[in-house]
Structure 1
Amino acid sequence: MASLSPFELKDELIKAAGGGAVERPANLAMLNAGRGNPNFLATIPRHGFWQLGLFAMRESERAFAYMPEGVGGFPKREGIEERFEIFAREFKDTPGTGFLAGAVSYVRDQLGLNAGDFLYEMCEGILACNYPVPDRMLKLSEIIVGQYLRREMIGKHPFVGEFDIFAVEGGTAAMTYIFNTMRENFLISPGDTIALGRPIFTPYIEIPQLNDYQLEVVNLDADVANRWQYSKKELDKLRDKKVKAFFLVNPSNPPSVKMDDESLQYIAEIVKERPDLILLTDDVYGTFADDFVSLFALCPKNTILVYSYSKYFGATGWRLGTIATHRDNVFDAQIAALSKDKRAILHKRYESITTEPDKLKFIDRLVADSRTVALNHTAGLSTPQQVQMVLFSLFSLMDTPDAYKNALKRLIRNRKAALYREMGIAPEKEDENQVDYYTILDMEYLGGREHGREFVDWIINNTQPSELLFELAKEARVVLLPGRGFGTPHPSGRVSLANLNESDYMQIGRAIRKLMDRYVKRFHEATGKKAK
């Protein structure tokens, strides 16, 4: 089982937590802290979605009002803004209507877009009565989501130029599409070397090893003793010209720590020396951080930005994600500089969708490849998904005091405090880079700090990988994921702080403390020594 992905091992741990001969109180429910799926969600933009749907249905029924058989038509652009104002007044006390009215005002007055065009795009989108056009992303939707990404990923950092966005089915689809299009366009080839910033979301470790890619991997390891930051020695591995790309999750998964300003700047300096280096940053947890700045902000021309709405808005089932690239980027430049033979292969690949395939941008190649090129005309994220993405974005943009963000931070940080308090472990000193969506219980670091190095060595030498996690599952019905599957250097367990209630984390903390006390006792009996 040590060879299993942590997400597959989780299923075995759940089985262990659900059965066995150990007698348990009837009210002892399984506590699965292995999943990152949050148990909170944004209600206001969802209310807005349903009210928008009702307004859009009115618009549809107007078109074919003479037909009683349940036949509607497309909404009409002319007069739609005035009709919405009537709707908003009529349902002003219904949850979501006030938010929608505010969103229309914000789009018109703050973003400078035409309110009628916005309402028409949203109505047509939520009715899903037309193909996504443009297929990469609906026109005004891309502008609004772009403003959200600017606020959350770039912030106050200077940023020159514009970027394009491809709306995709969550962060996992983004990963799949990017790896595939980079391979198809010879940006990576079998035998090439990429760098991974570890710990990292497990698929980034597993995908390069597949027969589809056969990539060599150089690991850049963040260190728990260094507050999960990369040392300059690790980052210097990017100076090696054989490293074609650097993939990272920021803030990290599972340590849940954002890269500090010094490290971001150090990478930017390396990119100046290596303008050919491709960066891919997955910043799904960035919205939980204080004053987050993405690597995309510092190195926009070299960076592919992946962002998912899943965690921050509690929308994993919606499958909402984005890929963003600067309009002046190294990916297009590297494709243009390929050999004549390779350019001929790509010309033939894309010639059915454009009269100038050589000029097709990398991000539009992503769109085409997502439908194996031949089905490019039916590419694009479903339009109701894009509408919800837009409403989430507007909800955040309109929340100028960050009330929603601060509430989520408070929620997960209170859970972390409860967990550590019941474990009997003092939390680390305050770290401005700590995000706390997850916490990683590092056996060598925390175990050594609390019980001494001899105890840690005895544990490592006398237990199998994940043995403590299985004991925790069998005896306390608590499920954690093994940190090793994410590339952590030490035996550890990942605790999601997003998917259970505070009282549950207190229970998990007590179960961990009970388990460790038992191992401390075994250590004493086996060695005759007392733990620290």
Structure 2
Amino acid sequence: MAEQDYSKFSGLSPFELKDRLIEIASSDAQRIMLNAGRGNPNFLATLPRWAFLSLGDFSLRESERSYSYLNSGFGGLPEHDGIVQRFEAYANDHRQTDGVIFLRSAISYVKDQLGLDRDSFLYEMVSAFLGCNYPTPPRMLEHTEQIVKAYLTQEMFGAQPKSGDFSLFATEGGTAAMAYIFQTLHENGLIQAGDKIAIATPIFSPYLEIPVLSDYQLEVVDIRMDEHADWQFPEAEIAKLKDPAVKLFCLVNPSNPPSTKLSDASLDQLAGLVASHRPDLMIITDDVYGTFADDFVSLFAKCPHNTLCVYSFSKFFGATGWRLGTIGVHDDNVFDASLAKLPEPQKQLLDKRYSTLTTEPRALRFIDRLVADSRAVALNHTAGLSVPQQLQMALFALNGLMDRDHHYKNSAKQLIRKRHQTLYREMGVKVERDANDVNYYSLIDLQEIGGKLYGPAFEAWFIKSNLGTNFLFRLAEETGVVLLPGNGFEVVDTSARVSLANLTDIEYAAIGKFTRQILNEYREDYEKAVKR
């Protein structure tokens, strides 16, 4: 068939290109479009949602106690004293639903395992559901922070000993966290136009797109993972971080789209380089997929002084619409140390910027500057993630903490890993799973698979023909399948990213079958070209 030229779309962000592919894939009303372009999961955690609803019923009854004599739909603020006792009476009088059982367990858990006062905890949760107060403190609700810290310690540290305490800032998902971090780094002079920042590639495309905006004008140093070494860092790539001109290092771990966690050896190499050569290096690790990995350890745990951690509840708990994220920074950190070393003129400018917040602006921590900058400083007093969102975040975290046998986690892992096997089986390609593989996404290496199926000459022709974008459009037009281009994530090989989270097993079988179908068509094109 005659191939159209889609090269004009190759410069688009993969998520913008997706919209064009969806338009083409959905143009045929006689077929079902299969959109594996986005990572929005089609599974979710039900228990913490039942708990949210059950707490809502109790919270409204608590509110009605204040103005019940008015009999006009009026409610008031909940009362702190005796609130657990009243909840127990409520629980005994109502059917023991999953939500009520979860809440009873949570009240017990936070006292026994976290040392929190039960009444204060439940009062915070009830107030959060009612949404009757500003987020106080703005950075994060007190008990919610302790619960989420315990959850992140469980999920991000593994067997790694915890080195000192850390603080959290609750944000509107991981995307808001990214925006806030770059903004505050820039506003505080920790990154400036022309500075070098290193980015571990392949990577979630906004990490590539934000630094080069006119707001920042940063020079990007590519720290490339090796596809043929299970997407780990070669020593020569890690060595690039020795350059003192590199101010910041950004990585997504497990990676997106290769969906592979950093090995213990890679983590140790990075931590060793920082300790030996770059104690001043600032690091951002985005660990949203860490909860899908086996025996995961974050660089936030391995290299605590230098590393800021971004985590989102969106993928693991099926909560992309809730917009629940956190930024974690250790209390002893390189960001605050770097602020202290700024030149005096710059410190004076920052004194003025934050002077309405404190009489000692220079003592304002980096994480608290993130909060202030997220609301243009002047609105710091009304900053913070909405409290109902923080409540759901706390319930998600408690679900992870109280699931001692990992029923939910194991089910989520098995679900996506089975889809991975199904996808490649239908393509006719055998894949071996490595211990570091996560499989939330799969990066289909089109040229490598073509070489395995049809030989090295076909692979060379496919590469030379630069068919990556054309493949995606042909796939969408002929079969209704939408995938994202690997090159949008800085993948070198001609490839396509498929999310293994948002469709059914039978639909991934169809995607595998259709991918093989289009590759077969390209083989026919190749054979015709050879005969000419």
Pairwise TM-score range, normalised by the shorter structure: over 0.9
Are 2:399 and 1:395 equivalent residues in the alignment? yes
Map Cα deviations across residues 435-489 of structure 1 (whole Å, 9 max, x no partner): 0000000123322233222211212333544000100000000000000000101
Residue of structure 1 aligned with 2:22, choices 5, 9, 14? 14
Query: How many angstroms apart in 2 are the aligned matches of 1:524 and 1:134?
Result: 67
> In the alignment, what sits opposite 1:471?
474
Q: CA offset at residue 16 of structure 1?
A: 1.1
Matched to 2:12, the amino acid is: L
SS at match of 2:69: coil
Tell me the residue number matched to 1:368: 372
Partner in structure 1 of residue 65 of structure 2: 62
Amino acid at match of 2:499: S
Residue 239 of structure 1 corresponds to 242
Mapping for residues 84-483 of structure 1, pairs under 5 Å: 84-272=87-275, 273-427=277-431, 429-483=432-486
The separation in 2 between residues aligned to 1:374 and 1:286, in whole angstroms, is: 35
Distance apart, 1:174 and its partner CA: 0.2
Q: Distance in 2 between matches of 1:491 and 1:338?
A: 44
Alpha-carbon offset, residue 223 of structure 1: 2.0
Q: Which runs of 4+ in 1 moved over 4 A?
A: none
Q: What secondary structure, in the 3-state scheme, does the structure 2 residue paired with 1:281 have?
A: strand
Amino acid at match of 1:406: N
Deviation digits for residues 265-320 of structure 1, max 9, x if unmatched? 00001111210000000000000000100000011110010000000000000000
Aligned length, in residue pairs? 523
Given the alignment of the two structures, is residue 484 of structure 1 paired with residue 487 of structure 2, yes or no? yes
Structure 1, unaligned runs of 5 or more: none
Identify the residue that residue 13 of structure 2 maps to in structure 1.
5
Q: Output the CA distance in 2 between the equivalents of 1:451 and 1:364.
A: 57
Counterpart of 1:8, as a letter, is E
Q: CA deviation at 1:525?
A: 2.5
Kept in 1, the 8 Å contact 2:197–2:249? The answer is: yes
Contact between 1:225 and 1:445, CA under 8 Å: does it hold in 2?
A: no
Q: Deviations over 1:355-410 (max 9, x none)?
A: 11110000000000000000001001000000000000000000011110000011
- Does residue 507 of the first structure (1) align with residue 529 of the second (2)? no
Instruction: Return the TM-score normalized by structure 1.
Output: 0.97
Shift of 1:197: 0.2
Q: Counterparts of 2:98 and 2:36 in 1: how far apart (Å)?
A: 32
C-alpha contact 1:246 1:279 (8 A) present in aligned 2: yes
CA contact (8 A) 1:254 1:494 kept: yes
Contact 1:92–1:98 (Cα < 8 Å) also in 2: no
Residue 280 of structure 2 aligns to a residue whose secondary structure is: coil
Q: Which runs of no fewer than 5 residues in structure 2 stay unpaired? A: 1-8
Report how far residue 42 of structure 1 moved: 0.4
Q: CA deviation at 1:111?
A: 1.3
SS at match of 1:9: helix
User: How many Å apart are 1:110 and its aligned residue?
Assistant: 1.6
What is the alpha-carbon distance in structure 1 between the residues aligned to residue 162 and residue 185 of structure 2?
25
- Mapped to 2, the partners of 1:430 and 1:82 lie a distance apart of 51
1:159 deviates by 1.6
* Deviation by residue 1:233-278 (Cα, 9 ceiling, x = unmatched): 1111111111111000000000100011100000001111210000
- Counterpart amino acid of 1:391? L
Instruction: Give the distance between the partners of 1:167 and 1:301, measured in 2 at CA.
Output: 20
CA distance in 1, matches of 2:10, 2:400: 41
Instruction: Please say if residues 195 and 219 of structure 1, whose CA atoms lie closer than 8 Å, have aligned partners that are also in contact.
Output: yes
Structure 1 residue 94: Cα displacement: 2.2
Query: Counterpart in 1 of 2:4?
Result: none
Contact kept, 8 Å, 2:26 with 2:32, in 1: the verdict is no
Equivalence for 1:44: 47
The answer to whether the 8 Å contact 1:482/1:492 transfers is yes
Aligned-residue offset at 1:227: 1.2
Contact 1:483 1:492 in 2 (8 A): yes
CA contact (8 A) 2:467 2:494 kept: no
Aligned residue for 1:323, secondary structure, equals: strand
Instruction: Supply the distance in 1 between the matched residues of 2:345 and 2:96 (Cα, whole angstroms).
Output: 64
Task: Kindly provide the amino acid, as one letter, of the partner of residue 378 in structure 1.
Answer: T
* Distance in 2 separating the partners of 1:436 and 1:62: 50
1:65 offset after TM fit, Å? 1.1
Contact 1:440–1:483 (CA under 8 A) maintained in structure 2:
yes
Residue aligned with 2:271, SS = helix
Q: What's the secondary structure of 1:517's corresponding residue?
A: helix
User: Could you list the per-position Cα deviations for residues 91-142 of structure 1 after superposition, in whole angstroms to 9, with x for gaps in the alignment?
Assistant: 2432311111111110111211111110000001110000111110001110
Partner amino acid, structure 1, of 2:59: A
Letter in 1 for 2:384: G
Q: Amino acid of the residue matched to residue 414 of structure 2?
A: R
Amino acid across the alignment from 1:205:
L
1:197-226: CA deviation from partner (whole Å, max 9, x where unpaired): 001000000000100000000001112211
Task: Provide the rounded CA distance (Å) in 1 between the counterparts of 2:159 and 2:58.
Answer: 37
Give the 3-state SS of the residue equivalent to 1:41 in structure 2.
coil
Q: Identity of paired residues, percent? A: 55
Task: Give the counterpart of 1:35 among 24, 33, 38.
Answer: 38
Aligned equivalent of 2:6? none
Tell me, in whole angstroms, the C-alpha distance in 1 between the residues paired with 2:467 and 2:512. 22
| Equivalent position amino acid for 2:73 in 1 | G
Q: Which amino acid aligns with 1:299?
A: C
Q: Distance in 1 between matches of 2:469 and 2:240?
A: 31
What is the aligned-residue RMSD (CA, Å)?
Answer: 1.1
* Contact 2:468-2:495 within 8 A present in 1 as well: no
